Amino acid sequence: MVKKNTPADGAPKSNAKLFTMVSLVFLVGAHLAALFLTMAAFHLSLFGLHFDLHGGGLVAAGLMIVFSLLAVFGFLKAGTVRDAAHSARIDSVKGEIETMLKENNAKLSASVVEIEQKIDRFLGDNYARLEKENDKMRAELDELQKSGLEDVSAEIATLRLENSNLQEMITQWAINSVDDRVKHQALEVA
């Protein structure tokens, strides 16, 4: 039976949610700074307060860039933590599967030996024929077990490759997003 890897079992608790929440706070800060900058640029007032571009607009632009970068880096860190948690989970599941396969193999081997002994006692004359059939069945069982382990290993390798590709996509998206925001800000300031 496969056990779940929970913090109660002693496994480390994932900080991915914390990084995501902090990134969302930074994203809200960036949006508030963008609102302040927009109000300053168009001489809008909020609750009777007037903002001008020279008084705080440049500070708002700087805060918007800083908050945006911090949000992107937080999302990237959350993705990295989540990938590490998935890799650890994959490794633990692989270990559990290998242990189960070894236990099942030991039980099956013990059962086969017991059956052989019973056959020897009851059949005597047909022993050679039955022994050949048992050898054939053992070979087939070994092949099935090997193919099962290879399938699990291939699945794990595929999952790791997908995690790596996803990390690269997130990193590229973050870089493009920051570049677009910086270019957009440069055009607005100019």
Q: Find the helix or strand (DSSP H, E) in which 66 lies.
A: helix 58-123
State the residue for tokens 């902090």: 22
Which residue segment(s) compose the domain that 87 sits in? Answer: 16-189
Q: How many CA atoms lie within 13 A of 4 on its CB side?
A: 3
Q: What is the pLDDT of residue 54?
A: 58
Cα dist. 74→22, 25, 29, 100 in Å?
Answer: 7, 10, 13, 39
In degrees and rounded to multiples of 5, residue 50 shows phi and psi of -105, 135
Q: How confident is the model at residue 14 (pLDDT cuts 50, 70, 90)?
A: low
Q: Does some domain include residue 1? A: no
| Crossing angle of helices 127-189 and 58-123, rounded to 10° | 180
> How many domains are there within the chain?
1
Q: What is the pLDDT of residue 86?
A: 78
Q: How confident is the model at residue 48 (pLDDT cuts 50, 70, 90)?
A: low
In this prediction the pTM is 0.34
Q: Does some domain include residue 6? A: no
Phi-psi region of 46 (alpha: psi -120 to 50; beta: other; left: phi over 0): beta
